[in-house]
Amino acid sequence: MSKINKLSPRLANQIAAGEVVERPAAVVKELLENSVDAGATRLEVDIEQGGIKLIRIRDDGCGVHKDDLPLAMARHATSKIYDLDDLEGVETLGFRGEALASISSVSRLNMTSSEESSGSGWKVVTEGRDMEAQVLPAAHPQGTTVEVRDLFFNTPARRKFLRKEKTEFGHLDDVVKRLALSHFDVAFTVRHNQRVVHSLKAAKTEAEEDRRVASICGPNFIQHAVRVDTEISGLRLWGWMGLPTFSRSQADLQYFFVNGRHVRDKVVTHAVRQAYRDVLYHGRHAAYVLYFELDPKGVDVNVHPTKHEVRFRETRQVHDFLFRSLHRAIAEVTPEDTLATDGVLAEAEGGAAQGQVIGEFREQTALGLGQGGGQTGVLESQRAAPGYYAPTNHTSGVAPVRETMQAYGALHEGGVGSEGAAVLAERPAQEGAHVEMPSHGDVPPLGYAVAQLHGIYILAENQDGLIVVDMHAAHERVTYERMKISWQSQSMKSQPLLVPVSMAISRGEAELAEDSSALFQRLGFEVERMGPETLLVRQIPVFLRDANVEALVRDVISDIKTHGSSDRVEGRVNTLLGTMACHGSVRANRKLTIPEMNGLLRDMERTERSGQCNHGRPTWTQMSMKDLDKLFLRGR
């Protein structure tokens, strides 16, 4: 007697449903993706009891022909791919042809569709052990309606694993939000138990896109985010990047889309984490809504049944592009940009006058960042403004780290040296020199200092209100960034080991290290393959002479294997420089003069990532006149 039996179509589809249909949210995901692929511009989603009792999705897409309706319910039947070439460059969200067959095997499903605008259409239902499709005439406008009732009614074991109604709808709602963020041209209406949860109009302008993102991610995200748009060599990254100060305790506000498909990819996550590494507080997570576009043939989306994971063909190129784009975008966020964002929001809320001031501000100031991260031009009107701080020679150039550190002793003792990392202006003859507030067109973004509070905070006045600066945190970031520029201007110095370190590694790791010898050399290492599974380290970076060489090299090899590159050495350098900058920065209770405070404010405006200290804490905040009036109940 044969021990191998052919499974019935329903049982085979139920097994497949175990991969595709995990919960009601998975059903909604598959059906919505089909609607988007059909060219829908309007989607209506009706849910009852978290999707367990009913899921109904209506669209105005191209519809399904009468003769294709039975095939649409069959397994591995699709109109989206035809041969292997199509599979290697998938441009649609769905392509496997498993969703409808799998869903119908664990629920009561019927689909009504029409290709015409006359109002006549056809309805298909599947019944019986062999899931035979029956096609019946039905009235329906152009588009398709899929109705799924009693999910898992015939698989009680699966139904027991479902959570409470609120939990299931929460997962389902996340699916709708992700699709709404990836397709701004589609309108969404979502109802749960006859109550409207979402009503999102199609977004065609940047302002409408901002509103949709704000409605899904919250207005605070848009208020503390900047737009990015970078395109190089066929790779494009655009979207909204949350400011480092808008970090979260968990990674619940991270949306990344590859060619319109929401994914969770280790290469992407690592690149984003690297870009935020220098500005995030420990244990915090960045918030972002980012879209990555590339040639469909450059990414394989057929690596996971639910299509949440992808595989890039050029992993190193993608990782470097994402990291450099975000790293540069974070570096270019200046106080002026942050205040401008607040101004736009204030204008949207009715504060048109404040928004106009900010607009003039941006036109009349030239504080920014060059390609090298240094200082750029300053307007003549600013140079002539009272209290303007002209940097000393050491701030315009790049001082060697050794010379920088020599000035830290005097600084730590309370004095301000004329050399090294000190960014404060020299003491004037009159300690309490007062700065008059010029016209708004000449006011820098962080304004002019008016006082120092308890030797810790600098109070400054700009056109919009009060600026409060943590002077130690701000000076620490300024010092740290200058030390990084100084370090990068010098070649990576190495020293030979008196006794080379021999390492026993796997054959694959040895081959990878041998192929990546150029990368090791740039990092300051000299490695040589001495055998099939032996590596010899002859030279290491000077500042890592006390490090565990073998462990570090293994970490570098692991990074190259996983991400195509390694930032271990750079991370060690930055950690060391950050510690040096922290000890070398001006301390609390250090009394500063008005010109010294203004000097620090001007340097903050010129310094990359000056909104956060080396540990990710904010360095300054603003209280607008509107906020102050509200605090004291003025105007009521």
pLDDT in tens, 463-508: 889 999 999 999 989 988 887 887 777 666 788 988 899 999 999 8
pLDDT value, residue 357: 33
pLDDT value, residue 95: 78
**Nearest CA-CA partner of 378 in 442, 283, 326, 432:** 442
pLDDT value, residue 196: 96
Q: Which two tokens stand for residue 216?
A: 């899904």
pLDDT value, residue 361: 32
Q: How far apart are CA 593 and CA 471, in angstroms?
A: 12
- The residues of the chain scoring below 70 in pLDDT are 1, 128-130, 305-306, 340-441, 490-492, 543, 563-569, 572-573, 576, 580, 584
**Would strands 42-48 and 187-192 be described as parallel, antiparallel, or unpaired?**
parallel
DSSP 8-class letter at 233: T
Instruction: Report the SS3 class of residue 458.
Output: strand
CATH number of this structure's domain 206-331: 3.30.230.10
Q: Which two tokens stand for residue 280?
A: 């995030």
pLDDT value, residue 430: 39
- CATH of region 9-200, choose from 3.30.565.10, 2.60.120.260, 3.40.190.80, 3.40.50.300: 3.30.565.10
CATH 3.30.230.10 segments of the chain: 206-331
Architecture of domain 493-572: 2-Layer Sandwich (3.30)
Contact (Cβ atoms closer than 8 angstroms) between residue 184 and residue 209: yes
Q: How far apart are CA 374 and CA 380, in angstroms?
A: 19
How far is it between the farthest Cα atoms of the chain?
A: 106
Q: How far apart are CA 113 and CA 146, in angstroms?
A: 9
DSSP H or E segment with residue 536: strand 534-541
pLDDT, one tens digit per residue, over 96-110 is 777 888 888 889 999
CATH 3.30.1370.100 segments of the chain: 493-572
CATH 3.30.565.10 segments of the chain: 9-200
Instruction: List Cα–Cα distances, 225 to 180, 240, 263, in angstroms.
Output: 19, 6, 21
